[in-house]
């Protein structure tokens, strides 16, 4: 099974390294600057258990793909999806599968429209990693045992089992789900809650917990998101509903990737997470004032960020 990993950033490099550790045939589709860095230094990934992967890897640049791959692993940010689709299109043969590990839910319909439902898998992960300035990838200590893939129609397939085996050989435990859509919506709900709270406060979980109105605010955001996803037909599981406020303890340093992107002055996935959920609320007639406030906040952030460039 030949794998093409779009990018060798934090998530792509992490999963690519795990696949290589397990003996898989992996090529990274990268930009010229990253290709030169990988040629010079190799791919270096530091895992949270202290293990370090370092090796020279195969790379290809856009326009240089020489044929179809069995699996294309899509690990870009949601706002890069359309460019990513153009880049991977030459790698998608009749039997190829694209496995997206993006935040949100909207990308599934976009990929289905482009490549056909039969060539799109569902995938989700909660692995946290960061690409450091020197090109090294560092996995964080924040760990949630959430890795799953599956056919969108819920059927078992040989290709999902083959992907699971390849990742397991490299040290990633992954479930093959017969209801990946529910899993995607569950993660979407949780991430939207944390992203909305962080966007409106611009603060980490511990700071919010120490504020007098923090607990009430967290509960209000959570309950609003519950109403929206339930109207879409995917009520969140009780254990996740309980986990949202439990994550806000006074010593917690957690902040979602959307907050970190804003702290670093980078683009955010706001339109694809909070904006998407706010639009769904409008279509279903579900009041969502907090989601709309957060979406407006993110749009203002992007306008201000663009004016400084």
Residue 23: band (very low, low, confident or very high) from pLDDT cuts 50, 70, 90: very high
CA torsion, ordered 224, 228, 234, 237, to nearest 10 deg: 0
Q: Which residue has the tokens 């090529």?
A: 27
The residue segments making up the domain with residue 229 are 183-307
- Residue 22 burial class via C-beta count within 10 angstroms: exposed 0-12, middle 13-18, buried 19 and up: middle
**Do residue 193 and residue 244 come from a single domain?**
yes
pLDDT at site 196: 98
Among the listed residues 33, 58, 187, 308, the single catalytic one is 187
**Do residue 269 and residue 157 come from a single domain?**
no
Cβ atoms 96, 70 nearer than 8 A: yes
**Do residue 207 and residue 302 come from a single domain?**
yes
Closest CA to 178 of 148, 158, 159, 156: 156
What DSSP string runs through 120-184? BEEEEE---EEE-TTS-EEE-S-----EEEEETT----HHHHHHHHHHHHTT---EE-S-HHHHH
- In angstroms, the CA 194 to CA 80 distance is 22
Lowest mean pLDDT among 50-54, 211-215, 273-277: 50-54
**Do residue 131 and residue 221 come from a single domain?**
no
pLDDT tens per residue, range 133-169: 999 999 876 555 579 999 999 999 999 999 999 999 9
Phi, psi of 216 (to 5 degrees): -65, -45
**Do residue 136 and residue 191 come from a single domain?**
no
pLDDT tens per residue, range 195-228: 999 999 999 999 999 999 999 999 999 999 999 9
Annotation says 308 is catalytic: no
Quote the number of domains for the chain.
2
**Do residue 215 and residue 174 come from a single domain?**
no
**Do residue 157 and residue 245 come from a single domain?**
no
Domain CATH code at residue 283: 1.10.1040.10
Q: Across residues 101-114, what is the average pLDDT?
A: 96
Reply yes or no on whether the pLDDT at 178 is more than 60. Answer: yes
């Amino acid at each position: 099974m030949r794998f093409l990993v779009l990018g060798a950033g934090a998530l792509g490099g992490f999963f690519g390294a795990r696949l290589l550790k397990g003996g898989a045939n992996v090529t990274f589709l990268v930009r010229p600057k990253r290709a030169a860095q990988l040629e010079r230094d190799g791919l270096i990934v530091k895992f949270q258990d202290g293990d370090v992967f370092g090796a020279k890897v195969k790379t290809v640049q856009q326009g240089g793909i020489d044929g179809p791959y069995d699996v294309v692993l899509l690990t870009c940010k949601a706002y890069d999806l359309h460019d990513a689709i153009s880049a991977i299109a030459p790698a998608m043969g009749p039997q190829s599968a694209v496995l997206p590990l993006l935040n949100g839910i909207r990308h599934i319909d976009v990929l289905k429209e482009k490549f056909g439902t039969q060539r799109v898998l569902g995938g989700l992960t909660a692995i946290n990693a960061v690409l450091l300035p020197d090109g090294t990838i560092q996995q964080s200590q924040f760990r949630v045992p959430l890795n799953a893939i599956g056919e969108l129609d819920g059927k078992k397939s040989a290709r999902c089992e083959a992907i699971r085996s390849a990742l397991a050989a490299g040290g990633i435990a992954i479930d093959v789900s017969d209801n990946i859509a529910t899993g995607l919506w569950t993660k979407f709900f949780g991430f939207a809650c944390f992203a909305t709270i962080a966007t409106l406060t611009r603060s980490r979980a511990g700071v919010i917990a120490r504020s007098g109105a923090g607990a009430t605010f967290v509960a209000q955001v959570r309950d609003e998101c519950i109403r929206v996803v339930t109207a879409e037909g995917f009520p969140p599981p009780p254990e996740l509903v309980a986990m949202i406020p439990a994550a806000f303890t006074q010593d917690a340093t957690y902040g979602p990737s959307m907050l970190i992107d804003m702290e670093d002055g980078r683009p955010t996935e706001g339109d694809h997470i909070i904006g998407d959920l706010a639009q769904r609320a409008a279509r279903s007639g579900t009041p969502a004032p907090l989601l709309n406030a957060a979406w407006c906040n993110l749009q203002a952030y992007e306008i201000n960020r663009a004016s400084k460039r």
